[in-house]
Amino acid sequence: MQPTATTIQSIFQENIIWYGLDFSAARFCNFAETPDKLKTGLIPAWNFLIPNEPAKFNISSIFRKRNVIFDLGPVAQINAGINETQMLSFNPCSFSNPQEVIISAVKNYGPGQVASGLGLVFIVESFDKGRQVAAVYITFFDIASKQVILAEKVEGRPKGFGLRNYWAGAIFDIMKIVGINVYNSWINRYATRG
């Protein structure tokens, strides 16, 4: 998704408000777990990884921010309302129109503790057990207007013991990829735009 030229600089200049992991459009491909277990147990656990394990999931370091504010309420509410009948799939799991999905997801966020600023959310496309990969859209948005500034797909490999930790490993891998490669590519592409 192409960045919004008038606001792309905020990614490098402003601190972020972390919204969490949005599973509202996610598909769990080739999973044996019940939708209820995913919705009420695992999704909340994955959504709270970053604030609960800040030493491992160091979001301020990855995105080079001095301060990060956690405001997970809006996305936690969205995740709680997921239609579990559509979560599981045995088919390829990718958004047919990513731009539409991302814009719609961000517009659906209710008010949080912070009314303005630079929001950051990981919009999960899929956890694919067959391919052993998680795909998320790293999405920056303006909280007040709900305008998407930048959304870029990043994939990570799961690893760890137990289902929760296994896919948490994929989120960790995605964050590592962003910190090592993706953020630098954003600097090269966008940091000097006016």
150-177 residue pLDDT tens: 999 999 999 999 999 999 999 999 999 9
The two tokens of residue 81 are: 């309302």
More confident residue, 150 or 93: 150
For the cut 50, the answer to whether the pLDDT of residue 128 exceeds it is yes
Residue 38 CA to residue 31 CA, distance in Å, equals: 10
For the cut 60, the answer to whether the pLDDT of residue 13 exceeds it is yes
pTM over 0.85: yes
Residue 35 CA to residue 29 CA, distance in Å, equals: 12
The share of the chain scoring above pLDDT 70, in percent, equals: 95
